[in-house]
Amino acid sequence: MVYQRTNAWMLALGLPLLLAGCASHSCDEPMSGEQCREERLLYQNDMLQAKMLVASGEPDNFELASALLSRAEAQDQRGEVPFYQAVLKIHEGPQVEEVLSLLERAAAKHHPHATALLYKIYAEPFLISEADPLKAELYRADYANLDVAKSGYPSFEKALAVVNALVAPPPPAPAQEP
């Protein structure tokens, strides 16, 4: 009798777990047809397009980049959206408080380029009137503690190079010959 009760309890507790395991599909499995997979692919597409538009430095591309970033924001887990929104704000003009807030959000999610850009802002200074070497060093130390930094990719210097390229003004258009 005790044996039957134990089996009944094990069955009652184990069956839902077993069925849940069978019913779940991975969002990473190609051609799975799962809605989560489609949402992930659309997020990746939006981010890829937005990154390319932001990196172009062309003001004509910023409106579409902003719309793509807004659409991707709900699924962002790594701080990419606020980082690229901050880069857009830098290109649009002096919006320092908003830029810093966006970068802090991205850095809180361990985004390496956001941390490197915060370092740049306080070390040079960039966007602000006075350098803050102590704050800059805190961001450099934060970068050193990121998983990507521990793996060696990207190095802090490489992250700074990427950041410098992203926030640099676009080169002037070549002069048109009459």
Q: Residue 81 in contact with residue 72, Cβ under 8 Å? A: yes
The predicted-structure confidence for 1-29, as pLDDT tens digits, reads as follows: 555 544 444 444 443 443 444 444 466 66
CA-wise closest residue to 123 among 136, 112, 139: 136
pLDDT score for 11: 42
Average pLDDT, the chain: 85
pTM for this prediction: 0.79
CA-wise closest residue to 58 among 88, 98, 82, 80: 88
Residue linked to tokens 């960039």: 126
Q: Is 35 exposed, middle or buried (0-12, 13-18, 19+ CB in 10 A)?
A: exposed
| Proportion of the chain above pLDDT 70, given as a percent | 79
